Amino acid sequence: MVTREFSDWSLGIALPQDTGALWLRLKRQGAVIEIRYSLDGTNYQLLRLAYLPASETLAIGPMCASPTGEGFSTVFEGFRIQPV
């Protein structure tokens, strides 16, 4: 979830029903989180720009949610945090 006290800029891209795998890259630049996605792990497209003000501490990690239905199973692989 990235919308809090401020709205963000979401491109609202409709992905195929069954993408198989999905890669995400998040990059913090000042108070902005840039979120990009890829369906092949190579070619990344901008998905969202979100506002996240500076904070002394920050907790991050992967999470998935289903807005409708019974939910779904997911596996997270290769999660890492690295400086740019």
Mean predicted lDDT score pLDDT of the chain: 82
Question: How much is the average pLDDT of 29-44?
Answer: 90
Amino acid at 84: V
Return the higher-pLDDT residue of 71 and 84.
71
Residue 81 lies in a domain: no
41 occurs within a structural domain: yes
pLDDT tens string 10-22: 776 777 777 778 8
State what percent of residues in the chain have pLDDT above 70.
86
Flag whether 83 is in a domain. Answer: no
The CA distance from 51 to 28, in Å, is 10
What span, in angstroms and rounded, lies between the C-alpha atoms of 33 and 69?
A: 29
Lookup result for tokens 């890829």:
38
| Number of folded domains that form the chain | 1
pTM: 0.74
Owning domain of residue 5: 1-76
What is the DSSP secondary structure assignment for residue 16, as one 8-state letter?
Answer: P
Please state the rounded mean pLDDT for residues 36-60: 87
